[in-house]
Structure 1
Amino acid sequence: MPEDEKTPAREIITDYAQAHFRYFRTADGTVYAQRNGHPVARPIRSQGTTGSHRQELMVGLFRDGVGVFNGTALKEALDLIEALALTEDVQSVHIRVAPGWDGATWLDLGRADGRSVRIHPTGWDIAVPDPREVCWRRTQLTGELPLPARDTDGKGIDLLLRLCNFATAQTECLAIAWLIGCLEPSVPVPAPFLTGPQGAGKSTGGRMLTRIIEGMSGDLRRAPKDEENLIAAVAAGWVTALDNLSHMTPDLSDAMCCIVTGAENVKRALFTDGDVFRARYRRPLLLTGIDVGVIRPDLAERLLPLRLERPRVRRTEAELWADYAEALPMILGSLLDLTVKVRAVDVETPTDLRMADFAHLCAQLDAATGFGSLAAYRAALDDLNDDVIEGDLLAQTVLRHAADVEPGTAQRMTSTEWLHHFTRLYTGEECRPLPKGWPTTGKVLSDRLKRLQPTLAARGVLIDSGRTYEGRYIEISRSPAAPPHQQQTL
C-alpha cells in the first residue's frame, strides 16, 4: 500500500479507544476514561506511572492485535480524545462511597471485577454498578475489601467490639455510629479521637476501624507537616487516619475542621500561569494520641472522643490480625445490615448540636437499637468543652467573671474595656504575670471570644456583639436557665 494511503496511527488509536472506552469530564474539567461496562474510571492525564489510562490503552491495542505505537501517536490520539470529551456531559467520580439512583448508596469493594455493594432502602446487594450511575476513582490508597457476609445476625459487631479495647458501652455505640456515617457520602461525621493510657491499643483500634472501610491495606500515618500535603493525602482516599498526635498547631487544627465539614482548595495548575486546579474535599477523619495539648473550640465541636483501656490479656500482632481478617467479612456484613436498619428509621433532628447530621444519625441508631448514642455524644461534647476550658486561661477568666453576674443580666463594654477588666481579674492582687498568648489588644480579645462563644454558651455564658452610635461593644451575660456555675480555679 502506498505510504500516503495508510491510515494514520493516531486515527487507529482514536477509533480503538472510542470503541472500547467511554470518555467523560468532571465539573473541574478533568477527562476520565472508563472501559465499557466497568465502573472504574482513570484520568487520561494521570501523572502516575502505575495503572494509567495510557498504559491501559497500550495493553489493549497490543493484546487485540491492533499494533504497538510510539509515544507521539499515542499523545496525538489522547489530545484529540480529550478535546472531544470536553464536549460531553459532566459526571462525577467518587472514591469508596458514592450516591446512587433511587436513594441508594454504593460502597466500592476495590475489586478488579468492579463488584460493589449497593445499599438501598430495603437492604443491600453486591453488583457491578452501571457506569452511568457510579464512576469509581481508585488510587494507591484504595484497598480491597472482602465480600461481606450475609445473615450475620449482628455477630460481626460483637466480634469487632471484642477485638477493640473500648472503655465503655457509650464509646462502643459512638464508634458504631461513626462507621455507619462513613457509609453515607453526604453526611459530615466528627473525627474520632482515640485516647487512653499507654498500651491501650489506640493505634491498633484505629487501624481496625479504618480497615472496615478501606480494606486490610488501610493504615494510620503521621500527620503531614503542611496543609498542602495533608490535603493531597485526604483527596487520595476516603478515611484519613492520623496516628500518635502529640501536638496540634493552629494551621493543622483549621485544616482538620475543613476536612470534616468540607472545603475547597484552589492552586495554580502545573506549568501554567493562568489556569487553576480546584480540589474539593470532605472526608471522614480519625485521630489517635494520648494528649494533643490545647484543643481549639472550633475543632472540639468536630471531634468524637473514644476512650480505650489497656487489655487484660495481651496477644501477638500476627494472631490478632489473623482473627481480624477472618472476622472482617462478618463485621462488614453486620455493619451493612445495621446501616439499612438505621436508615429506615424516621426521627427528628436535634437542632442544638453543631454536627446536626451526625446527631440525627445517633438518634436514628438509638431508635433502631436502643443504644443511647445521642446521650453519649452530648456527654462527649461536654467533656471536650471541659478540655477546652481547662486549656484556655481566658475562658476560665470569663467564667470567673460570669460567676459574679446575676442570671439574666448583661454587661456591655468595648473590647478594650473588657480586656482591661479581664486582665485585672486574672492578675489579681498578687499582680502575677500574664501568660503567653494572652490578648494584647481589644481586637485580639474580640476574635478570641468569638472562637470561645459556643464553648462558653454550653456553660451558660452568652457573648454578643453589636454597634451603637458610640462604637462597637461586646455584651456578656448569664443565661437565666443555666445552673449556677462553679467558680473556675485559675
Structure 2
Amino acid sequence: MSDDENNIDDEAREILSRAGLADEVEASTKKERGPSQASQLVALAREKYEMFMSEDGRPYGVKKDGANIALPLRGKAGLRSQLALLYTDGSGGSAPSQSALADAMTVLEGAAQAADPRVPHLRIGRHHERIVVDLGTADGRCVTIGPDGWERTPKSPVLFRRSGAMKPLPEPVRDGDGLARLGELLNTDEEHFRLLTAWIVACFIPDLPHPILTFRGEQGTGKSYAAKMVIGIIDPSGAPKRTAPRDIKSWATQAFNSWALCLDNVSIIADWLSDALCRAVTGDGIVDRALYTDDDVVVLEFRRVLAMTTIDAGARAGDLAERLLTIELHTIPDRERREEAEMDRAYADAHPGILASLFDLLSEVLKVLPDVELTERPRMADFARVLAAVDQVRGWKTLESYKATARDAVADVLDGEPFAQAVVTLVDRSGPLGVTLTASELLERVPTPDKLPKKWPKDPTRAGGQLKRLAPALRTIGIEVDDSKRGPSPKKQRLYRLTASADRRCETASPASPNGSGSAVTSGNRGDAGVGTLASPTSTGGTLGDAEGDAVLFAASPQDTAPDLREHSRGDAGDAGDAEMQPLSNAVTCTECGYPIDVTEPGQTTHPTC
C-alpha cells in the first residue's frame, strides 16, 4: 500500500471526525503501515555505523565492528549502497526506494555534523611513531612500520578512506633482496637507482613534502613503464599514468583520490599546472561549490606523491624546478628489450619482496631519523633529512646526488630564461663588489639581444618583478639578489644589489683554455655547487643571442675596451691577474645609500639615482 493511499485528506478527516471515527482510523492506519523505509534505514545505519565529518567537511560512516574504513555517505562505494544491501537482505529481498534512501542520507548527514570531526587517511597514515600502510583489501588489512620493524595487522589502528582509483597492495614477503630485483627492472645507473630507492622510502612517510619524481630520457628508455612500476609499488591504481589535466577542477579530483599519481609524457607545463603541482607537494586545498547548492562549498585537501615522465618539459618555473628529483634513464638496446607481458610477470613476482625490503629500510630510517641533523638545509629540508638517514643506514650518498639534480634543474630553468642569462653575464663581469642599480638601470646595462625574446621584460616594473622571481634560482648558482634598500627621496626607487659568491668568482675566473677563452661551465658540464650556467664565449665576441633569444654568457674578465656594460666585449681570464675577476672600474661606496658603485667619472661618490 503506497503512502498516498494511506494518507487521509482533509475533507475525509472532517467527515470522519464528525462521525467520531477519525482517531480509530488513524490508529489503524499507523498500525498497518509501521515505520517508513527511511526510518528503518536510519535506524539500521545508526545501529551498525558511526557517523562523523572529516575536517574538510565531508560526511562519512565507519562500521562499528568491521574494518576501520570510512565510507562516504553518498557515491557508488559509499554508505548509501551498503545500507540498501543491508535493508534488502533483512526484508526478504525488498529493495528500498530511492526517495527513502535520499531521506535517510539527509538524516545521517545531520548525525555526522553532531559528531567530532575525524581525519580519514588515504593509503598511508601515521599512528604515533609507527606508519600504517593500507593494503586496500576488503577486510581492512594493513602493514605497520616502526623503528623496531614492520608487521602485518588484520585491522588498521587509524582510519582510512578508499577511492575508485585504488587497487590492493600485495602483502610484503621477505624473499631475497627485493631492491636488487627492482634494480633489474630499471635501466638507470647505480647513483640514480639509490636516489630513487630513497625517494620511494620517503613516500611511505606521510607528513612531509616529497619532491616530484621526474623520469627523463629519450624515446625507448622505458620512462612510462618505470613510472608505472614505481607508482604501483607505492599506490597501485587502475590508471597509474594520467595525461596532464585540462583544468584545476579535474586536477583536484584526480589528486584527491590517489596518494601517488604520475603525469605521463609531459611536454609543456602550463603556469596554472606548475603552481598546482607545487601546492600539491607542500599541501593544497581547493574550494568548489557543492552540487545542487548555490552557496555551500566543498573543500578538497591533499598533499600528494607525484611523478612525471618527459623528454623535455620545456621551460619550467623556478619554484617547480626546485621541487623536482630527476632520474635519467638510458636507452635500451634492441637486443636487450623485453616484452611488456614478460616485464609484468617479473614485476608482479617481485612486488611482495620489493615491499618487504623497502619496509626493512624504512624501519631502519625511522630508527635513526630523530637524531639526524643537517648542517645545510636545502629547499625540501624534510625530504633531505630522510635522504641523510638513508645514507647513514646504507652508506650511500643520496643527499649529494639530490643536491646535484636540484642544481641541474635550476640551471635548466636559467638556460630557458634569456633575461636571467643576461643578468648572470652582467654580474660575472662586474667584479667582487657586484653592481647596485635600479630596475631601469638594470634594463639599460644588461646585454640586450637584437631581437627581444618573448619573456624579456618590457619595462622596469616587469624587470624588477622578473628579477625577484629568478632570485632563488640565481642564488642556487651563486648570485645573490638583495632588494632591501631604496634610493633617497623624492623618488625612493628600489635598489638591486647583485653580487657573485667567492666560489662562483673562482669558477668564472678559471685559467684560460688553449683557445684563449675562459673555462666556462655550461648546462652540459655543470656539477659543482658554485658553478653557474654559463656558455663559452664565441669567437666573434659577447653578443647575446639570435632570433630565438639565446644568450652567450661569459667566463672571463673584460679586455681593453671601454668599461661600458652595454658593449658586448669579450675578455680573457689572463687579464685578471689573479684568481678573481677584474672589476670593470674602481668601486667606492655610495655616500647616500651605502651600496658600492662603479665609478665611471672622476670624483663620483653617489649613484646617478641618488
TM-score bracket for the superposition, by shorter chain length: over 0.9
Provide the secondary structure at the position in 1 that maps to 2:213: strand
Code of the residue aligned with 2:261 in structure 1: it is: T
In the alignment, does 2:21 pair up with 1:3?
no
Structure 2 residue aligned with 1:35: 63
Structure 2 residue aligned with 1:273: 294
Code of the residue aligned with 2:471 in structure 1: it is: Q
Q: Is the 8 A contact 2:147 2:365 kept in 1?
A: no
Give the Cα–Cα distance (whole angstroms) in 1 for the partners of residues 224 and 35 of structure 2: 59
Give the Cα–Cα distance (whole angstroms) in 2 for the partners of residues 142 and 367 of structure 1: 34
Q: Is the 8 A contact 1:220 1:242 kept in 2?
A: yes
> Of residues 110, 126, 134 in structure 1, which corresponds to 2:158?
134
**Paired residues for 1:457-472 under 5 Å:** 457-468=475-486, 469=489, 470-472=492-494
* Structure 1 spans left out of the alignment, 5+ residues: none
Give the Cα–Cα distance (whole angstroms) in 2 for the partners of residues 322 and 3 of structure 1: 65
Code of the residue aligned with 1:291 in structure 2: it is: D
> Of residues 93, 99, 107 in structure 2, which corresponds to 1:72?
99
CA apart distance, 1:459: 1.9
Query: RMSD of the alignment, in Å?
Result: 1.8
Q: Is the 8 A contact 1:262 1:283 kept in 2?
A: yes
In the alignment, does 2:390 pair up with 1:365?
yes
Q: Using structure 1 for the length normalisation, give the TM-score.
A: 0.93
Give the Cα–Cα distance (whole angstroms) in 2 for the partners of residues 78 and 337 of structure 1: 44
Structure 1 residue aligned with 2:400: 375
Give the Cα–Cα distance (whole angstroms) in 2 for the partners of residues 326 and 412 of structure 1: 62
Q: Is the 8 A contact 1:350 1:359 kept in 2?
A: no
In the alignment, does 2:200 pair up with 1:179?
yes
Structure 2 residue aligned with 1:327: 350
Percent identity over the alignment is 33
CA deviation digits over 1:96-132, x for unaligned, max 9? 11111x21111111111110111122111111335xx
**Paired residues for 1:251-400 under 5 Å:** 251-312=272-333, 313-345=336-368, 346-400=371-425
CA deviation digits over 1:138-197, x for unaligned, max 9? 1111111111103x45x111000110111x211111111111111011011101110112
Structure 1 residue aligned with 2:436: 412
Q: Is the 8 A contact 2:436 2:498 kept in 1?
A: yes
**Paired residues for 1:37-76 under 5 Å:** 37-44=66-73, 46=74, 48=75, 50-65=76-91, 68-76=95-103
Structure 2 residue aligned with 1:403: 428
CA deviation digits over 1:437-483, x for unaligned, max 9? 10012221122112211221122211011243423222211223544
Code of the residue aligned with 2:249 in structure 1: it is: E
Q: Is the 8 A contact 1:43 1:53 kept in 2?
A: yes
Q: Is the 8 A contact 1:459 1:485 kept in 2?
A: no
Structure 1 residue aligned with 2:592: none
> Of residues 168, 187, 208 in structure 2, which corresponds to 1:144?
168
> Of residues 177, 188, 192 in structure 1, which corresponds to 2:209?
188
CA apart distance, 1:273: 2.6
In the alignment, does 2:462 pair up with 1:444?
yes
Q: Is the 8 A contact 1:211 1:217 kept in 2?
A: no
Code of the residue aligned with 1:11 in structure 2: it is: S
Give the Cα–Cα distance (whole angstroms) in 1 for the partners of residues 90 and 158 of structure 2: 27
> Of residues 46, 51, 54 in structure 2, which corresponds to 1:23?
51
CA deviation digits over 1:266-313, x for unaligned, max 9? 222233232222222210110001111112211110000100112341
CA apart distance, 1:371: 1.4
Q: Is the 8 A contact 2:165 2:237 kept in 1?
A: no
* Structure 2 spans left out of the alignment, 5+ residues: 1-26, 509-519, 521-533, 536-551, 553-610
Comparing 478-487 with 366-375, which one deviates more in the overlay?
478-487
Give the Cα–Cα distance (whole angstroms) in 2 for the partners of residues 391 and 203 of structure 1: 25
Provide the secondary structure at the position in 2 that maps to 1:484: helix
CA apart distance, 1:433: 1.5
Structure with larger Rg: 2
Give the Cα–Cα distance (whole angstroms) in 2 for the partners of residues 331 and 382 of structure 1: 30
Code of the residue aligned with 1:473 in structure 2: it is: L
Q: Is the 8 A contact 1:145 1:216 kept in 2?
A: no
Give the Cα–Cα distance (whole angstroms) in 2 for the partners of residues 231 and 450 of structure 1: 29
CA deviation digits over 1:24-71, x for unaligned, max 9? 111122110112221121111x3x3x3222111010122234753222
Q: Is the 8 A contact 2:321 2:413 kept in 1?
A: yes
In the alignment, does 2:279 pair up with 1:247?
no
Structure 2 residue aligned with 1:434: 452
Task: Describe the shift of the 1:483–1:413 C-alpha distance in structure 2 as closer, same or farther (beyond 3 A).
Answer: closer
**Paired residues for 1:203-218 under 5 Å:** 203-215=224-236, 217-218=238-239
Provide the secondary structure at the position in 2 that maps to 1:86: helix
Task: Describe the shift of the 1:273–1:350 C-alpha distance in structure 2 as closer, same or farther (beyond 3 A).
Answer: farther
> Of residues 472, 475, 482 in structure 2, which corresponds to 1:454?
472
CA apart distance, 1:485: 4.4
Give the Cα–Cα distance (whole angstroms) in 1 for the partners of residues 272 and 45 of structure 2: 45
Give the Cα–Cα distance (whole angstroms) in 2 for the partners of residues 234 and 439 of structure 1: 35
Number of aligned residue pairs: give it: 474
Q: Is the 8 A contact 2:169 2:235 kept in 1?
A: yes
